[in-house]
Amino acid sequence: MVENVYIEALRRRGKVKGESTARANGYAVVTSRPGTSSCQLAGDTMRVTRVMVSAVPVVLLSLLFFPSSSSFISPSAASAETGGAKGAKPEMGYVGAEACQGCHEDSVHSFAKTRMGRLFLKHPRDAWERNACENCHGPGKAHVDAGGGKGVGGMITFAKDDPTPVEKQNATCLRCHQRKARLFWKGSPHDNRGLACTSCHVVMKDVSVRSGLSKPTVVEVCRKCHLRQSAQQMYVSHMPVREGKMDCASCHNSHGTVTDSLLKANSLNDICYKCHADKRGPFLWEHPPVVESCANCHAPHGSNHEQMLVLPKPRLCQTCHIEARHPTEPHTEPPIPSQFIAFRGCVNCHYNIHGSNHPSGYRFTR
């Protein structure tokens, strides 16, 4: 059948009128079985062969990534088959948000204005989210049958005087909010100190613009516990936190990390390099304290010395460098070299103190 179709195509193009004409015009007549024949032009055959060869990689890739249609399952079907906690059918004992609104009308109206409230009450994505209030507070049938009341029916209130263990309260939140930034919450400093999610977050009303914080800004939330770091922001030389250009979450992940001080990078230097990229290097001549840690010379939360230094110059340099090569104490008697005048620092000459790429910059003077 392929040969016949090919002959018919050539006939329509006016190149072949019959088998004898094909032989006269230089076409090859190929007979696959008695009673059938085909005419193939060398140029047309080459083009067909090129198309078939070029299609081989596509076919192989399709077989590699999509072995068969039966092996591909849509995400919705996969979630239905796995029967995850979020997509599973809720247990008995749920009464619905309408029953809650009968007594807690103000709370329900306030919750409906929040991001989570709009999702649960108006646009639930599955049967679990349709439970709305009971997703977090637990099944309410026992509470309703008992006539309501504080602490009745085993409801989780998330209040400060709630007898529910903090681990159980946090597990309720982590049922949905366990990925991304909360991946290392278990065993983090805040988890080990027994902090509940509701210590920093509130979901029943919008207090902050983002993240459901209990205070309008991240700084105000962290300030409740980290008083020393908050006071350092009031020093003369400080990070632009007070000016609103950054906040605590710019450097720290309060939900847990694998690094010290809940840093959002592998080291303190990597955090600083996000803004101070010119200090990253690599340099031909490196200053060891700089490579080790920026905090050797700088106070990251604030200082009363210039450039957020932990000590004034030249005292900071003298913590490592002794006065063997040239004096660094103030001079008051003439003749006084300009670089040794009182209150001047080592960086007057060694100004490339973070590192130098000059061939003669081993003393960071150029």
363 and 271 part of one domain: yes
Residue 292, in any domain of the structure? yes
Residue 138, in any domain of the structure? yes
Q: How far apart are the first and last CA of the chain?
A: 84
Tell me which of 43, 59, 75 is where a domain ends.
Answer: 59
Residue ranges of the alpha helices (H) in 113-249?
A: 115-117, 134-137, 141-145, 166-174, 189-192, 218-223, 227-232
Q: What is the mean pLDDT of residues 53-65?
A: 55
Residue 99, in any domain of the structure? yes
Q: What is the mean pLDDT of residues 225-253?
A: 94
Give pLDDT, residue 220. 95
Residue 364, in any domain of the structure? yes
Q: Please, which residues have CB within 8 angstroms of residue 194's CB and are 6 or more apart in sequence? A: 166
Give pLDDT, residue 63. 59
54 and 115 part of one domain: no
Residue 304, in any domain of the structure? yes
284 and 352 part of one domain: yes
Rounded to whole angstroms, how far apart are CA atoms 177 and 89? Answer: 20
Q: How many domains does the chain have?
A: 3
In this prediction, what percent of the chain has a pLDDT beyond 70?
Answer: 69
Residue 24, in any domain of the structure? yes
In which domain, by residue range, is 138 found? 94-155
Residue ranges of the alpha helices (H) in 85-192?
A: 97-101, 105-112, 115-117, 134-137, 141-145, 166-174, 189-192
Give pLDDT, residue 233. 93
Tell me which of 10, 38, 59 is where a domain ends.
Answer: 59
135 and 52 part of one domain: no
Confidence of residue 5 (pLDDT cuts 50, 70, 90): very low
Confidence of residue 332 (pLDDT cuts 50, 70, 90): low
Confidence of residue 39 (pLDDT cuts 50, 70, 90): very low
- Top-ranked range on mean pLDDT: pick from 6-15, 252-261, 316-325, 339-348: 252-261
Q: Is 215 helix (H, G, I), strand (E, B) or coil?
A: coil
